[in-house]
Structures are given as C-alpha cells and as structure tokens.
C-alpha cells in the first residue's frame, strides 16, 4: 500500500511516500481504508524525535494520528463495526499510521463517522476533539459558570475547545491574532485577546482553569491568572510524575520527567494552584460523545486547507508554521 514513511528521525527529506505492507489484523481490530487524514503538530514532533523518550517508534514507520475512512475487514472478536461502515478515529499510540491507504485500529478506539461531516471534515476531529474533552471534562472537570482560558483559540485544539467549553456553560477567554478575532468570537469566545498587542496576564484574573498549549514562559504567566485552587492543564509539556506513572515509564524516565517539571510544579504550589500534563489518548467511547455533539450541531469542524496526499510534506510544513486556522487535512481518495 502507499504510505508516508519515516525511515530516520530528523531526516533531511522529512519522510517519503513509498510502499508498505497492508497491516495485519488482530482479533480486536478493524481494517480501515483511509479516505482522509488530519495533520497535527504531534506528527512533526514525532518525526523530529521529540517524543522518542516516551514513544520510541522503530523505523521505518508510517506517520499519522487522525483518520476517516471505510471498514474493509473486521477481526474475529469485533462486534461494534461491520464492513462498509464509515468511521473515524485517533489510533492508539504505537498503532499510528493514518498517512497510508489502510490502517488497522482497535475497535475500542473507533466511532462511526458523524453523519453531517464529509470524510475530510471528520478526519479533522479525533485528536483535537479528544484532547479538548480529556483536558476540559476528564481532567479539568469544567462546570457551568466557571471561567476558562484556552490559549491559541484559532488553532486546531483551540477552535474545538472553545466550542466544547461554551457547551459546558463556561465563560471562555482566548488569545489569537487580530485577523482571527471574528473567528474565535463566532465559536463562542467571550474574551478575545490580541496576543501581539495585549498582555493576557493584565486582562485575566481569578480563572478556574487554563488549557495551556504554548511555551514555558507563557505557562508561567498563565499560572498567575488562576484563582487559588484553580488548575492549569498543559498539552505542550513539561511531562510530570503522574504522567510517567500513567504510561508505566521506567525509573530513569520517571526521574527525567520529575526533573523537567519540578520548576513549574514548585511555582504552582507556591501560588496554590494545580498543574498537570496531558498527553491525549485514543478513546472510542469519548469519540462517540463527540459525535453526538457534532450531529446535534453543537460543535462544528473548523478547516483550513485540504492537501492531496502527494503534497503531504508541504502540508506538515504548513502546520509547523502555526498559521493554520483550525485543522489541516490530507485527502487520500
């Protein structure tokens, strides 16, 4: 099958389009013919070896974390899906590879594609949708009437998280550029701050929750906009000891993560706020909840560009630029 292959971390060619064998199916897996695949900054970071410590992929491997397509074969123990079903998913870590003609995905990690969406729109949802869900609902326990600061509101995670937070009844603040103000307000942002002109720390006070997706300097400033007892959830690092325990990391990796996050954890403790790191995981049940919100019209995908598969390197470069409004997708069919 045709696939986008990584032969070496940090390679100069950035990956290549070539041939790989069609994945073999395990009893609890479904073989999906890929119609479209979302591109995420995570793809770039894995290609560059930034997560090699916690996600050591053996080269050569196929990149890609978002998929929409059609079931072509089911494993012996699969009960929820049949051949011909239109589905979407964020495959589990160590089982990625959506930049290809076919991918095998665990039944528990998939959901039926939202009826209202095209394949390209559906492929834009899983990773950012699950990230927002796990940050705001699972970890953040965001409630009606609370205040949440969602950074980078016009990005992939931001556009989804704003809509989810508004659905939950929260007051939402975000940062964006002047040209994207109308976009984030149309999604439900109550407070939109031009990050090039204004300092969010001078505008936001006593917030309940922060979803941090930026660098360490922004993270430290964000801790200070929280009220006592508030919480910051970071999807951009640094990884903390709880995350090391979650993934069953070896002792030396646990030690590294403890050291990496010690500074921010001390600052959070001094400010009497919470800090936690989130590395989202595949979850078909949560994806079904997201599907219901999309089918009801509560949440809409925000798409920037759709690239042909042959231009996948250019598509990844475009995502790396940070200019995308919402998600970028590659079309396989």
Clarify whether residues 159 and 234 are in a common domain. Answer: yes
- For 231-241, the pLDDT digits (tens) are 999 999 999 99
Whether residue 48 lies inside any domain: the answer is: yes
The answer on 88 and 28 residing in a single domain is yes
- The first and second tokens of residue 203, run together, are 């505008």
Statement to judge: residues 155 and 119 lie in one domain: no
User: What range defines the domain where residue 197 resides?
Assistant: 128-277
How crowded is the C-beta side of 234, counted as CA atoms within 13 Å?
25
248 and 115 belong to one structural domain:
no
Tell me the pLDDT of the chain averaged across its residues.
97
Whether the per-residue pLDDT at 11 is higher than 90: the answer is no
Name the band, by pLDDT with cuts 50, 70 and 90, for residue 71. Answer: very high
- Report the predicted TM-score, pTM, of the whole model to 2 decimal places: 0.97
Statement to judge: residues 57 and 179 lie in one domain: no
- Residue 87 within any structural domain of the chain: yes
CATH number of the domain that 244 lies in? 3.40.50.720
Residue 78: the pLDDT is 98
Domain with residue 305: its CATH number is 3.90.180.10
Helices 251-270 & 216-223 angle (0-180, nearest 10) = 40
Count CB-CB contacts under 10 A for residue 283.
21
Backbone angles phi, psi at 229, to 5 degrees: 90, -5
pLDDT tens digits, 246-293: 989 999 999 999 999 999 999 999 999 999 999 999 999 999 999 999
Domain boundary among 262, 277, 292: 277
On the question of pLDDT at 214 being above 90, the answer is yes
Q: How many domains does the chain have?
A: 2
User: Strand pairing of 16-19 and 2-6?
Assistant: antiparallel
H helical segments located in the chain: 41-47, 119-123, 126-133, 156-167, 181-187, 200-203, 216-223, 241-246, 251-270, 284-295, 312-320
Average the pLDDT over 112-121 and give the result. Answer: 97
- CA quadruple 262, 268, 273, 278: dihedral, nearest 10: -50
Asked if residue 57 has pLDDT above 90, the reply is yes
Residues 55 and 157 in one domain: no
């Amino acid at each position: 099958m045709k696939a986008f292959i990584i032969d070496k971390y940090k390679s100069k060619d950035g990956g290549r389009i070539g041939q790989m064998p069609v994945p073999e199916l395990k009893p609890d897996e479904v073989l999906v013919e890929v119609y479209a695949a979302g591109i995420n900054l995570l793809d770039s970071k894995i290609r560059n070896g930034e997560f090699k410590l916690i996600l050591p992929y053996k080269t050569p491997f196929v990149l890609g974390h978002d998929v929409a397509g059609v079931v072509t074969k089911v494993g012996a123990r699969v009960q929820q899906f049949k051949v011909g079903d239109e589905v979407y998913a964020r495959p589990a870590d160590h089982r990625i590879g959506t930049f290809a003609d076919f991918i095998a995905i665990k039944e528990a990690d998939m959901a039926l594609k939202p009826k209202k969406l095209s394949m390209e729109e559906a492929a834009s949802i899983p990773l950012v949708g699950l990230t927002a869900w796990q940050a705001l609902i699972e970890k953040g326990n965001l409630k009606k009437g609370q205040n949440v600061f969602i950074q980078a509101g016009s990005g992939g995670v931001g556009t989804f998280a704003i809509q989810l937070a508004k659905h939950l009844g929260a007051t939402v603040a975000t940062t964006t550029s002047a040209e994207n103000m109308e976009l984030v307000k149309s999604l439900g942002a109550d407070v939109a701050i031009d990050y090039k002109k204004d300092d969010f720390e001078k505008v936001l006070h006593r917030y309940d929750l922060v979803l941090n997706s930026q660098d360490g300097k922004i993270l430290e400033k964000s801790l200070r906009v929280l009220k006592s007892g508030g919480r910051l959830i970071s999807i951009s690092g640094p990884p903390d000891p709880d995350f090391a325990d979650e993934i069953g990391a070896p002792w030396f990796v646990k030690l590294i993560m403890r050291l990496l996050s010690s500074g921010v954890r001390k600052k959070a403790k001094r400010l009497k706020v919470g800090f936690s790191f989130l590395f989202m995981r595949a979850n078909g049940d949560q994806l079904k909840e997201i599907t219901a919100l999309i089918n009801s019209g509560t949440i809409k995908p925000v798409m920037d560009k759709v690239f042909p598969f042959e231009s996948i390197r250019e598509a990844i470069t475009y995502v790396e630029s940070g200019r995308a409004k919402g998600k970028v997708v590659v079309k396989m069919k």
